């Protein structure tokens, strides 16, 4: 039987920051690079929020696959992505700081829906793990 704890303060901050990134996805006219960056950042922060709530340390990384593996190792199952995010990390680092790379253009509706599904899942898991609403 697991003991419920209050919502981790760091998890709360990450949920707020992820919501800010998600809000940007709905801004009309945002170019592909910044759109992909905020998709990646929203998913990264959501995964880190759940890891934080589980009291699992994580590296300061933009590697979504590594964060997903940590969650899976902790017994957490994440919803399947509607968009292929295998190369989304390029939006977090390469596209933001280096030359403009050739990158896969994301399906915006699928990316937005995927972020929503991940957010809903992680918020529900954090609520289930905590005593606070």
What's the pLDDT score for residue 1? 46
Q: Report CA-CA distances (Å) from 6 to 10, 34, 53.
A: 11, 34, 9
Integer-rounded Cα radius of gyration of the chain? 15
Q: Per the CATH hierarchy, to which homologous superfamily does domain 9-129 belong? A: Nucleotidyltransferases  domain 2 (1.20.120.330)
What's the pLDDT score for residue 61? 83
d(CA 53, CA 125): 9
What pTM value is reported for the model? Answer: 0.85
Task: Give the helix/strand (H/E) hosting 106.
Answer: none
What's the pLDDT score for residue 5? 74
Task: Give the helix/strand (H/E) hosting 99.
Answer: none
Q: Where are the domains of the chain?
A: 9-129
- Give, for all 133 residues of the chain, the pLDDT tens digit: 456 678 889 999 999 999 999 999 999 999 888 888 899 999 999 999 999 999 999 988 888 889 999 999 999 988 877 666 666 666 655 555 555 555 556 788 988 999 999 999 999 999 999 875 5
The strand pairing partners of 130, in sequence order, are 5
What's the pLDDT score for residue 15? 98
Q: Report CA-CA distances (Å) from 50 to 22, 35, 47, 53, 94.
A: 17, 23, 5, 5, 26
């Amino acid at each position: 039987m697991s003991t419920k704890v209050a919502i981790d303060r760091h998890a709360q901050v990450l949920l707020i920051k992820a919501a800010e990134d998600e809000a940007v996805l709905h801004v009309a006219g945002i170019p592909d690079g910044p759109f992909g960056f905020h998709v990646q950042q929203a998913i990264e922060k959501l995964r880190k929020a759940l890891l934080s709530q589980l009291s699992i340390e994580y590296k300061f990384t933009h590697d979504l696959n590594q964060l997903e593996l940590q969650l899976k190792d902790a017994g957490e199952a994440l919803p399947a992505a509607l968009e292929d995010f295998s190369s989304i990390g390029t939006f977090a680092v390469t596209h933001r700081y280096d030359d403009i790379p050739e990158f896969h253009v994301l399906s915006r509706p699928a990316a937005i829906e995927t972020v929503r599904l991940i957010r809903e899942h992680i918020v529900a898991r954090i609520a289930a793990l905590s005593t606070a609403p």
